[in-house]
Amino acid sequence: MANTFSLILVIATIVTGIFWCLDKFLWAPRRAQEVEAVKAKSNVPLDDEVLASIAPQPVWVEQVVSVFPVIAFVTVLRSFIYEPFQIPSGSMKPTLLVGDFILVEKFAYGIKDPVFRTELIATGKPERGDVAVFKYPVNPQIDYIKRIIGLPGDRIVYQGKQLYIQKACDEAPCGPLTKVEMKPVGPFMDGHVQVDELSEQLTATLSHHVLNNNRRSERIGNYFNQPETVRPDEWIVPQGHYFAMGDNRDDSLDSRFWGFVPEANLVGKAAAIWISFEFGRDDSSALPKWVPTDVRFSRIGGIE
């Protein structure tokens, strides 16, 4: 759907742009020539109203010309700078909630054309801990948002709801498989279920909160099986790929289950929450569930 909208937006920009150029450089000069010709033949001065009626700009041309700058601005903004996204699920709780609307930096991981997604200018690579939007590898028509956990060459182990990382190195032997430090924060109500909220120290300078539901067992039997590893809960990130996980660890369909995110699938980095709506409406309400019940102003701001 997102790719279809991008294609429609680009086509609309091109079409309106063509008519804008035709009017500016061809049709408008012709209309001006017609007006000048009438003025030259007239023996009396003509007022502006009469002159405007000699060769008027067609209504449809006026509308197309006026809408072109708006469409062009939206296309450039959405394709290369920032694009809004809505969080549709709870897989990134507690960092992002259902009803959060976020801005995504499209230029963070390379400037790409909006239709074929070919990289035009290299601007950067994902860093460990980034909250990234990407095309779901199983179905690229769907946009996913997860946290980047593993970089190319990393060894990732997720055992007993605990994350371990062995960072990539240029020469063997590599460093040790390191346990990512987690500290209890307190209980968190995920709907009607109380789960554990913990602070995870993913890097020396970045900590974020994750949710663990100790009442739910790990779905190891559904994990992505990588031939290069001997454990079902171990993965080695290939070059040009990334390992992504949701912060809501027991309610997230992520790299543990479908594999790695190709670099070509990256859309951008989540930069900020620009608005957040509450949708806590029960079934007895006459209003549809998509109508917000409240605005969560306290959530507006940056994303950790």
**Residue 146 annotated among the catalytic residues of the structure:** yes
Pick the catalytic residue from 6, 91, 252, 276. 91
Question: Distance between CA 8 and CA 294 in Å, rounded?
Answer: 33
Residue 40: which residues within 8 A CB-CB, separation 6 or more?
A: none
pTM: 0.84
Residue of 112, 146, 252, 255 marked active site:
146
Asked if 36 contacts 46 with a C-beta cutoff of 8 angstroms, the reply is no
User: Domain spanning 87-302 has what CATH number?
Assistant: 2.10.109.10
From 132, 82, 80, select the one nearest 111 (Cα to Cα): 80
> Of 27 and 302, which is predicted with more confidence?
27
**Mean pLDDT, the chain, integer:** 90
Using the predicted structure, report yes or no on whether residue 121 has a pLDDT greater than 60.
yes
**Beta bridge mates, 7:** none
As given in the structure block, the two tokens for residue 258 are 């479908």
Q: Is 66 a catalytic residue?
A: no
Asked whether the predicted pLDDT for residue 97 surpasses 90, the reply is yes
Distances, alpha carbon 289 to alpha carbons 292, 296, 297, in Å = 8, 17, 20
Q: Name the residue ranges covered by the structural domains of the chain.
A: 2-80, 87-302
Distances (CA, A) of 178 to 197, 228, 301: 21, 20, 32
Phi, psi at residue 26, to the nearest 5°?
Answer: -125, -60
